A and B are shown apart, each in its own frame.
Chain A
Amino acid sequence: MSTDTQEEDQGGGVSFEDRYGVTPAEADHDTLLRMIEDMFTEGLKTQLEPFPETDREFSKLLDDLRELDVNDLRQKLIISGWKLSPHGEDEMRCQECMYFLVHKRWCDLPELDLPAEPEWWCRLWRI
């Protein structure tokens, strides 16, 4: 589904490699974190709704994520509804999510597999 240009594009037509010297697949924890934060600072909007209420809906999002190129970080964040703050009335956040490794500060959901911070959230959250 992604073209070669999209894979490398971190937004604004500049490739990840040009800007950070590495692609997302090669990047270490800190660089990935920077890539994510920079995209949000530069106005990235992700798809926060609808929250997958059933397992079918949840699996559908996973299927969409599986189809992405490993370097298509932008779409990964958009599809998963990534957000750099807690979400909703219940203040849902990575800290309580089943996929969050608190010590590694990492989202262990294989389809995401990205650095995450305790106060962040995405719509694949589950407890």
Chain B
Amino acid sequence: MANLLWLQGGACSGNTMSFLNAEEPSACDLVTDFGINVLWQPSLGLELGDNVKSILEKCISGEIQLDIFVFEGTVINAPDGTGEWNRFCGEPMKNWVKKLCDAAQYVVAIGDCATWGGIPATAPNPSDSEGLQFLKRAKGGALGENFVSKSGLPVINIPGCPAHPDWVTQILVAVASGRGGDLTLDEFQRPKTFFSSFTQTGCTRNMHFAYKVSTTAFGQRKGCLFYDLGCRGPMTHSPCNRILWNRQSSKTRAGMPCLGCTEPEFPFFDLAPGTVFKTQTVMGVPKDLPTGVDKKGYMKLTAAAKNASPAWAEEDIFVV
């Protein structure tokens, strides 16, 4: 039996909604098959008011063993570092977070807000938000760079806006079943099992990427979304085309560009007008090239690929 407590800071509840849609395993499987005891969760917990507070206090004192602390949403520091804009059970949420993280065996940050600040931390960041151990790409965050939970691991970051439900439940099962020590994390503390490959890995439009044929409108079957509609698939670490959404699709399969939501800089370019759904270019050349490709090589590759592209690559074919 592993006790799990889930709290929300500056969040839209999107990750809770995503979690409740999990299928392999489902949120119910966590309880019935994998021995997870949900102490409290904002959408599932039955307790209210002082009864919730009492659970939190018992976790902090050790009366209840806190095996997994899940946090969704940003840690809000406004105004003036007090965190008063986000009060919960009688005190700023940021205080609860600090105490619960110190008490927990494992700390799991779910979604971009909890991992690195996400949309709330976008300039001008009015709520003075940050993630648990990062603010965008900078290490530190609410808990500080050197934080490790009782298990010896830093915060396990499962980013996404929202995170895919199965990324969440599979990591929770690994931790609850004593395999937390087997998790390997990348430089942003994301489990490598999910975040070593790219959104582009398994994308059905890869052939159009190779032949440099562009999708020029949302939902088009032809083409790749990189050249015009700002797809960040080649630069974004995610398994979105390996572990499909709703078990059947992904953004790129539906003709919608990847927005790079698992990377610390999301949302890119601080959401300045004209930067969303549009490939950013300088003198006609994309600002962000696929990871590992330089400008000269990219230009040569384009010329060669266009010359070699077959006629069918220009047709509207099914890529779903």
Contact of B302 among A54, A96, A103 (CB under 8 A): A96
Closest to A90 in B: B299
B283 within 8 A of A: yes
In the complex, how many residue pairs between chain A and chain B have their CB atoms under 8 Å apart?
61
Closest to A113 in B: B216
Contact of A109 among B216, B281, B284 (CB under 8 A): B216
B146 within 8 A of A: no
A2 within 8 A of B: no
**A126 touching B285, Cβ below 8 Å:** yes
A100 to chain B, nearest CB (A): 7
Which B residues between 153 and 185 are near A, CB-CB below 8 angstroms?
none
**A103 touching B314, Cβ below 8 Å:** yes
- For chain B, the count of residues having a C-beta within 8 Å of the partner chain is 28
A residues at B contact (CB < 8 Å): 51, 53-56, 58-59, 92, 95-96, 98-104, 108-110, 125-127
4 additional A-B pairs beyond A95-B307, A99-B214, A110-B217, beta carbons within 8 Å, are A55-B281, A56-B274, A59-B274, A92-B284
B-side contacts of A103, CB under 8 Å:
309, 311, 314
**B216 touching A108, Cβ below 8 Å:** yes
Q: Identify which of A53, A92, A102, A104 gathers the most chain B CB atoms within 10 Å of its CB.
A: A102
**B284 touching A126, Cβ below 8 Å:** yes
Considering the chains assembled together, what is the distance between the CA atoms of A125 and B286 in angstroms?
12
Considering the chains assembled together, what is the distance between the CA atoms of A109 and B212 in angstroms?
14
Q: A103-B311, A104-B314, A108-B214 are in contact. Are A58 and B306 (CB under 8 A)?
A: no
B123 within 8 A of A: no
Closest to B217 in A: A110
Contact digits for B268-280, partner A, Cβ 8 Å, 1 yes 0 no: 0000011100111
B-side contacts of A110, CB under 8 Å:
216-217
Contact of B214 among A51, A54, A95, A98 (CB under 8 A): A98
A88 to chain B, nearest CB (A): 10
Considering the chains assembled together, what is the distance between the CA atoms of A99 and B213 in angstroms?
7
B227 within 8 A of A: yes
Closest to B227 in A: A98
B282 within 8 A of A: yes
A94 to chain B, nearest CB (A): 10
Q: A51-B283, A53-B283, A125-B284 are in contact. Are A99 and B216 (CB under 8 A)?
A: yes
For the complex of A and B, 6 pairs with smallest distance between CB atoms:
A98-B227, A126-B284, A103-B311, A98-B214, A101-B314, A96-B303
B-side contacts of A51, CB under 8 Å:
283-284
Q: Identify which of B283, B285, B286, B314 gathers the most chain A CB atoms within 10 Å of its CB.
A: B283
Considering the chains assembled together, what is the distance between the CA atoms of A125 and B280 in angstroms?
13
**A127 touching B217, Cβ below 8 Å:** no
B228 within 8 A of A: yes
